[in-house]
Structure 1
């Protein structure tokens, strides 16, 4: 079984018409010949990602999801621009080749980038990697180091100084996700009122340093070198990237970090091997981040709870599309249960918090 990330068959309702895309790509990317074989990468619940295998090279195409799109989300041009400019300061971004704004080609905007071939970790560490606990801890710290490196990029020098508004970022995230959650409510969804009020009451000031915020940094969005799996060679999924408070980005990542001691229902939500022997706990993760970045994480409970609420907002937005028949992807039917669990996890943090 190959360890490098593999594409699969295309999900029903998400077909890509290569006969329409192929002539466009050949006009804009020199050297393409023949007809591409098309397959789909299985990960991701938002933008759709396809592998185009031409005889001489492989390309990756990204397009928005079918159905409902949140306002300002799924901006292909913005993601294309981030990849092209950020690469000069953070050389783990794939190179982007072309951005198509003519929706007649595919029915939506899209862009095409290079394929960075490597290992992407899902729920478990592949035993074929043969990593012991000490090596796994090296990998874990490398993962955190890349997040620190991103947060230390000179985004003005990269030409991304206008990517977002760092001032007031914490307040905008709390109010913005509360508003987005309300708009995505379905009759079976929890209200999150107690958590929303707590976040509003405990909101800290913005940290003293603004940074590029990835907003979706987790193991299944990084690519490992197949020859040295403890080395990260790529970072994917830049659609939510902006400028803001790096500690809020830390909270986003902690929300995905299911550790070995979490109860069984929480383990069912795990999408990365953060529980494996050698992986840091969430608290150790935050402490190591603070040590490497020089930023104190004094409001750990707030940032983690914010991350859980934001994750619930994303989950609910996706479930909203499924609930209203705007996607046929059956994976999303279970997202309502994940939303409810995230609320209970947040309430548990609040009950024991000293904030």
Structure 2
């Protein structure tokens, strides 16, 4: 996982964090060296390097954010309770809701050592077609296995709001898009109307991660690819697993996709041997036993949801609430995603 110098806008009081940690972790010789992970576009993630151990701290960004996003207590609690039932979860160290420490909520966890794949493979790494296919199958199977965890047994039943998940998702993401709309992107009204008019009943209610993609997976690549950890549980909930499948496929850009959509690729799913989206869905359904009606609905939803996430960040960037250069092209990404969703739905963009 790549970590670099902390961006000025994301700096915090390292001495205060160290003092808080020494009350919870014995033998810390600090303060730590702090670096910032560059991946991700939502919560901020920092590497805390001590002489004998590495820890990771997560906290929300400053500036405008959706009311339900960036809930540190929720993210911490989900991982703490889920770990005994789904091994690919980091060990939690502690949660802080005292604004006197860093100005807001944050939590600290162990660092999982391994490889996180971005748009291109790390220098020196190669994946042949068989290895790429095996990696893809591991991603599919682990997602399916997560969706078999009993939320009640894991102490996470309170995450659910009952039936109506699909409806709430369509309405919620539509509301967020309208709330973050800027004058340089499509209004999305035709896609939102299409989703609202074609939403199916919930296929099931399962524990879902809600942001399942390769750069949230820590991999052991020393042999056949193995997932040692899943990161970024901020949006985990109990919901329709087919909605998560559609959301995940919005990121699963393959070699035969059109040039504009390919510009958004952030994981090496274009490699020869990687499962296609169709193969991903087929294998997932076979492993879970779930039944699906119209796949187009879930695919359009996934694209639109990703457009909303990008638009919320683009809104912050345009307002000067973040200067992260990685966000400079997010307006273009929104236009591409809304355009692709519109084309699949057969409506104007």
TM-score, normalised via structure 2 length: 0.97
Q: Structure 2: 5+ residue runs without aligned partners? A: none
- SS of equivalent residue, structure 1 residue 315: helix
Cα–Cα, structure 1 residues 126 and 21, in superposed 2: closer, same or farther, change >3 Å? closer
Cα–Cα, structure 1 residues 324 and 127, in superposed 2: closer, same or farther, change >3 Å? closer
Which residue of the partner structure matches residue 25 of structure 2?
29
Are 1:251 and 1:303, in contact at CA under 8 Å, matched by a contact in 2? yes
Over residues 164-211 of structure 1, what are the superposed CA-to-partner deviations in whole Å (9 max), with x where a residue is unaligned? 21410000000111111111111212111111111111111100x311
Matched, 1:125 2:121: yes
What's the CA shift for 1:31? Answer: 2.1
Structure 1 Cα separation of the partners of residues 305 and 145 of structure 2: 23
Are 1:29 and 1:98, in contact at CA under 8 Å, matched by a contact in 2? no
TM-score, normalised via structure 1 length: 0.95
Structure 2 Cα separation of the partners of residues 9 and 166 of structure 1: 43
What's the CA shift for 1:139? Answer: 0.8
Structure 2 Cα separation of the partners of residues 180 and 35 of structure 1: 40
Matched, 1:67 2:63: yes
Which residue of the partner structure matches residue 158 of structure 1?
154
Which residue of the partner structure matches residue 250 of structure 1?
245
Which residue of the partner structure matches residue 2 of structure 2?
6
Number of residue equivalences: 347
- SS of equivalent residue, structure 2 residue 336: helix
> 4+ residue stretches of structure 1 with deviation over 6 A?
none
Which residue of the partner structure matches residue 81 of structure 2?
85
Which residue of the partner structure matches residue 179 of structure 2?
183
Are 2:2 and 2:39, in contact at CA under 8 Å, matched by a contact in 1? no
Pick aligned residue for 1:292 from 287, 293, 299: 287
What's the CA shift for 1:54? Answer: 0.7
Over residues 300-354 of structure 1, what are the superposed CA-to-partner deviations in whole Å (9 max), with x where a residue is unaligned? 10001001111111111111111111111122121111000001111221239xx
Which residue of the partner structure matches residue 326 of structure 1?
321
Which residue of the partner structure matches residue 199 of structure 2?
203
Are 2:191 and 2:341, in contact at CA under 8 Å, matched by a contact in 1? yes
What's the CA shift for 1:6? Answer: 2.8
Cα–Cα, structure 1 residues 125 and 166, in superposed 2: closer, same or farther, change >3 Å? farther
Are 1:125 and 1:276, in contact at CA under 8 Å, matched by a contact in 2? no
What's the CA shift for 1:125? Answer: 2.9
Q: Which is worse superposed, 317-326 or 112-121?
A: 317-326
Pick aligned residue for 1:20 from 16, 24, 31: 16
For the aligned residue pairs, the C-alpha RMSD in angstroms reads 1.3
- SS of equivalent residue, structure 2 residue 23: helix
Q: Which is worse superposed, 139-148 or 17-26?
A: 17-26
